[in-house]
Chains A and B, each alone.
Chain A
Amino acid sequence: MQEDPVLKVEDLRTHFFTRSGVVKAVDGISFEVGRGETLGIVGESGSGKSMTAWSILGLVPQPAGKIVGGKIMYLGEDLLQKDESEMREIRGKGICMVMQDPLTSLNPVFTIGNQLIESLKMDNKDSKPTLIQKATQLLANVRIPAPESRLSVFPHQMSGGMRQRVVGAIAMARSPNVLIADEPTTSLDATIQLQYLQLLKEIQAETGAAILFITHDFGVVARMCDRVAVMYAGKIVEQASVLELFDNPQHPYTEALLKSVPDLNEDVDFLPSIEGQPPTLDDLPEGCSFAPRCPYAFDKCNVYPGESSVGEDHVASCWRLDGAN
């Protein structure tokens, strides 16, 4: 991967200023995604993974939320320097998002065709029949059977898997360079989830889009991603290629999380579990935020550790790795 990454996030900080204090939802994270690459962002609820996506799209909830530092480089330009109309252009064309719940991301009072054509109209002045033809093609691209007849259908008349594919079709309508998928399959059944993941892979192979895949499921990561970033309490604690992360997890959180997932092919009597609760962001402990739940925690952990490189394309933030290099 010698060419420049499509999207490069450097030391991004998104904070919320609330009455009870500053909530550091995203606190100094850096990563990059190249063309045709899939980066998984794994974390629990409240770890800041969705807020990372909103920050990239410039949609941080106002007025409480604010990006207080860092850079988001998209094709060499810093998105944080763009004004609202430029961002609007990029959101449609360059970076698109597929959200968790397809029912709430489609407008219930417009037909599928209407909503598809709306996004197609943004940058071409084709005649209506051409647009209809293009919309049909888009539905066919996401493997919806009988696409012509689906254009006049309302969202509630489709099943969850179908709706999610329509959302995918809208997102791909203007062939974006970056697709952000925020837990797109959590509301789908297992067999439908597999269909959808395969479809995303196929579309990616055709268009070469970079995918930022936000999930809490290591199974999805194993199936979909090339590289993974593990988030905990607003920070990336470990980042590596998929194989490296699964074979050789370095951060105690990653290690414990991987162990606590039951395996379908094995019988175990007892699962190792992570004690304690995930931290709330307005009341973070000093230093490493995982320390209160960490079996290896020692006195150094009350200062946040720096990033240590542990092998090729593998970094983790833990004091235990500090002596290694």
Chain B
Amino acid sequence: MVQTNGHADPEALIRLDGLKKHYPVLKGIVFQKTVGVVKAVDGVSFSIPEGQTYSLVGESGCGKTTTSRQILMVEPPTEGEIYYQGTAMNKFTSEQRKDFHSSVQAVFQDPWSSLNPRMRVDAIVSEPLITHQNLTKEEVKKQVGELLEVVGLHAFHADRYPHEFSGGQRQRIAIARALSTRPKLMVLDEPVSALDVSIRAQILNLLKELQQTYNLSYLLIAHNLATVRYMSHRVGVMYLGKIIEEANPQDLFGNPLHPYTKALISASLPAHPNLQREEIVLTGEVPSPLNPPDGCTFHPRCPVAFEPCNTDIPVMQEVTPGHIVNCHLFTGAEATSSAAAAS
């Protein structure tokens, strides 16, 4: 069943439509047979307009990173389509593919392992430039200097090695490298969670500034909800390979609808000791995607599960404009608006 997203904007920079990624589980060495399927991503649809941030939140193993790997074209999806500027990715000409690779870049969680320790900073930052553009040595050097200044480092840092920098500075180098090809979309996979607390705000502010200056789109993957609220224009909550709720951050955090979103928000720690939230403690852990429960995949942990939840798969509903949720609690409540959204 392909879920339709009421807000799939055809003008968006990138649009995912019913994206699925299933990994077969094989048994045997010579005569391999498939004994199961891990549904890492199971029908994900969303779109990111130019200059905006879309965030995916959820616990580990829910498929956030797998989704980003499809967008980065590291792996082809099993089913579904990704449209970049209106063109389906699997119909790219080689020219378009080349252009795509230079306009989509990534920044990863751990700047200790994402930068090659044996390359100097200038080599790290200029590598994408040399791959994607024909520039002379002088031009490359000039650009590297400019990029380092843009991310708050200095041109003289180009001659150093990654181990000479602190975590925050390394993440700036990773950002400079990602920026070098003038990308339109950046995938930020937990960009600050490996950094020191006093450095996080610096990097988040830098990313926000860069977004405004270069009109960048971000796909942000994070588990810290406060960071997501600070950075995002739209947020999708994932659970076991599906987006179960999507809205703008004000609606999502101010008025969460799905029981899982509520539990996730209540589990985020308070900013002040007097601010004790109602804590919804979920029992158990995320089920294995190899053998997901029937019906709504959340029902074994759901505090308000009722009859249809363990048999029927819920359908996306648009409850208020722009706020969509995948839960039986809202089935039928807004039948008219969901019908309008589906058409």
A residues near B, CB below 8 A?
44-45, 159, 161-162, 189-195, 198, 216-223, 242-243, 246, 253, 256-257, 260-265, 267-268, 270-275, 277-278, 280
The smallest C-beta distance from B28 to any residue of chain A, in angstroms, reads 22
Best-surrounded residue of B60, B223, B264, B271 (most CB of chain A within 10 A): B271
Say which size band chain B's interface belongs to. 35 or more
Residues of chain A within 8 A of B268, CB atoms compared: 190, 219, 264
Are the C-beta atoms of B229 and A191 separated by less than 8 Å? no
Known A-B contacts A189-B59, A263-B226, A268-B230; A216 and B271 likewise in contact (beta carbons under 8 Å): no
The smallest C-beta distance from A191 to any residue of chain B, in angstroms, reads 5
Among A198, A223, A257, A272, the residue within 8 A (CB) of B197 is A257
Are the C-beta atoms of A219 and B270 separated by less than 8 Å? yes
How far apart sit A242 and B59, CA to CA, in the bound complex (Å)?
29
How far apart sit A190 and B166, CA to CA, in the bound complex (Å)?
27
The smallest C-beta distance from B223 to any residue of chain A, in angstroms, reads 6
A-B contact pairs, 20 of them (CB 8 A): A190-B268, A192-B59, A194-B266, A194-B269, A195-B282, A219-B271, A221-B273, A262-B201, A263-B229, A263-B271, A264-B226, A264-B253, A265-B253, A265-B271, A267-B229, A274-B198, A277-B166, A277-B169, A278-B166, A278-B196
How far apart sit A162 and B273, CA to CA, in the bound complex (Å)?
27
Residues of chain B within 8 A of A189, CB atoms compared: 59-60, 223, 286
B133 at the interface (CB under 8 A from A): no
Known A-B contacts A189-B223, A222-B270; A262 and B229 likewise in contact (beta carbons under 8 Å): yes
Are the C-beta atoms of B201 and A271 separated by less than 8 Å? yes
Contact with A along B194-205 (1 / 0, CB 8 A): 001111111011
Known A-B contacts A243-B274, A273-B201, A273-B202; A216 and B269 likewise in contact (beta carbons under 8 Å): no
B300 at the interface (CB under 8 A from A): no
Known A-B contacts A190-B59, A261-B197, A262-B226; A274 and B281 likewise in contact (beta carbons under 8 Å): no
The smallest C-beta distance from B281 to any residue of chain A, in angstroms, reads 6
Contact with A along B261-287 (1 / 0, CB 8 A): 001111111111111000101100110
Residues of chain A within 8 A of B266, CB atoms compared: 194
Are the C-beta atoms of A218 and B271 separated by less than 8 Å? yes
Residues of chain B within 8 A of A253, CB atoms compared: 198
How far apart sit A265 and B273, CA to CA, in the bound complex (Å)?
14
Residues of chain A within 8 A of B270, CB atoms compared: 219, 222-223
Known A-B contacts A222-B271, A223-B269; A260 and B59 likewise in contact (beta carbons under 8 Å): no
Residues of chain A within 8 A of B281, CB atoms compared: 191, 194-195, 198
Are the C-beta atoms of B198 and A257 separated by less than 8 Å? yes
Residues of chain A within 8 A of B197, CB atoms compared: 44, 216-218, 257, 260-261
How far apart sit A321 and B267, CA to CA, in the bound complex (Å)?
37
How far apart sit A189 and B227, CA to CA, in the bound complex (Å)?
15
Best-surrounded residue of A162, A261, A280 (most CB of chain B within 10 A): A261
B225 at the interface (CB under 8 A from A): yes
Interface residues of B in 80-133 (CB under 8 A from A): none
B250 at the interface (CB under 8 A from A): yes
How far apart sit A193 and B225, CA to CA, in the bound complex (Å)?
14
B168 at the interface (CB under 8 A from A): yes
Known A-B contacts A190-B223, A222-B273, A222-B275; A260 and B267 likewise in contact (beta carbons under 8 Å): no
B residues near A, CB below 8 A?
59-60, 166-169, 196-202, 204-205, 208, 223, 225-227, 229-230, 249-250, 253, 263-275, 279, 281-282, 285-286
The smallest C-beta distance from B160 to any residue of chain A, in angstroms, reads 14
Chain B, residue nearest A186 (CB)? B193
Residues of chain A within 8 A of B282, CB atoms compared: 191, 195
How far apart sit A220 and B197, CA to CA, in the bound complex (Å)?
13
The smallest C-beta distance from A256 to any residue of chain B, in angstroms, reads 7
How far apart sit A44 and B282, CA to CA, in the bound complex (Å)?
30
Are the C-beta atoms of B204 and A271 separated by less than 8 Å? yes
Chain B, residue nearest A199 (CB)? B281
Chain B, residue nearest A258 (CB)? B271
Chain B, residue nearest A253 (CB)? B198
Q: Add 14 more A-B contacts to A223-B273, A272-B201 (CB < 8 A).
A: A190-B225, A192-B59, A218-B271, A222-B269, A222-B271, A253-B198, A261-B197, A261-B201, A262-B201, A263-B271, A264-B253, A267-B249, A270-B208, A277-B169
How far apart sit A192 and B286, CA to CA, in the bound complex (Å)?
10
How far apart sit A218 and B335, CA to CA, in the bound complex (Å)?
43
Residues of chain B within 8 A of A216, CB atoms compared: 196-197
How far apart sit A195 and B284, CA to CA, in the bound complex (Å)?
9
Are the C-beta atoms of A219 and B201 separated by less than 8 Å? no
How far apart sit A141 and B199, CA to CA, in the bound complex (Å)?
39
Best-surrounded residue of B60, B167, B198, B208 (most CB of chain A within 10 A): B198
